[in-house]
Copies of this chain bind each other. A is one copy, B any other.
Amino acid sequence: MAENFATAFHRVAILGTGLIGGSFALALRKHFPEARIIGFDREAVLAEALARNVIHESTTDLATALNGADLVYIALPISTTIELLPEIAKHAAQNALVTDACSTKRAICRAAAQHFHIGAIFLGGHPMAGKETEGVAAADEKLFANAKYVLIEENAETKNNPRVAAFTSLLEKMNGRPTWLDADTHDWAVAIVSHLPQMTAIALAEVIAAEADGEADGLPTSLAGPGVRDSLRLTASPYSIWRDVAFTNSDNLGRALDRLAHAIEQLRTHLTSRDLEKSFAEANLLHKSLKP
């Protein structure tokens, strides 16, 4: 029911007009050309977003961005989001839906619960889409298409709120796939399928780098083929994002890393035994089950 949008959201404030905020803006402009989009970010980022026709207006003043916006889309780093939430709650319009796109959800939703009481309502979200490339230059109106978009169900009433329902319709119109989870379940699941693979790539790279001993052109890296390059692709993702992720999901991620260290120690003891076959079979089965 995308027509809900027309009655719900007329003015959209996008806080953070990088890859995710920019992609959301482009998808909005494609599917809801009547919406007016105002961007909030640093001056240079806004200039580029305006030049690329990603947003209609820009401001570096948060209250100005929020003024009259009935949809507030936060696509800022986790720590910045948590820092700004009190001010966002204070200045957001009474009828606004405020939602975020941060990649961990417990810390954000806890902070939001402290500051959003009456008027504007908060909905935690996480588009399961991204790229290693940051910035509005990489923004893509199809970034969310055919990707799950996790929304956080705080309680039984969350889904029934008309503004939430309108936002869900909007995501569906963008060909996103809204998926309801609670914040605990979300943070556990992404620790396993997103944050653990990231940290695994970092640890693998550290071991290889230590063996290479600073000799970039030498062995063993000079024998590296496409397999290890794929295994290390995630290391191109910037620390600035992962610092906050690790900080706000250190319990789940810590447990996952413990299990990985244990799995590696097991594998080490099985290198010359038939138990290795079981590990390969299990891994292969999992890989096949992952949908492209």
A residues near B (Cβ < 8 Å) are 128-130, 147-148, 150, 179, 181, 185, 188-194, 196-212, 216, 219-236, 238-239, 242-243, 246-247, 250, 253-254, 256-261, 263-268, 271-272, 276-277, 279-287, 289-292
Contact = CB atoms under 8 A, between A and B. Distances in A.
Contacts of A192: 207-208, 211, 220
Q: Is the interface of A mostly helix, strand, loop or mixed?
A: helix
Report the copy number of this chain in the oligomer. 2
Nearest to A258: B268
A283 B227 contact: no
A234 to B, nearest CB: 5
Given A229-B290, A264-B257, A280-B202, A208 B196 contact: yes
A186 to B, nearest CB: 8
A291 B146 CA distance: 32
Contacts of A265: 257, 261
28 contacts: A147-B225, A179-B223, A190-B223, A193-B221, A196-B204, A198-B227, A200-B204, A201-B231, A203-B266, A205-B286, A205-B287, A206-B267, A207-B260, A208-B286, A209-B285, A210-B259, A211-B256, A212-B286, A227-B234, A229-B287, A229-B290, A230-B233, A231-B234, A232-B283, A235-B284, A243-B277, A257-B271, A261-B268
B271 A253 contact: yes
A261 B264 contact: yes
Nearest to A281: B239
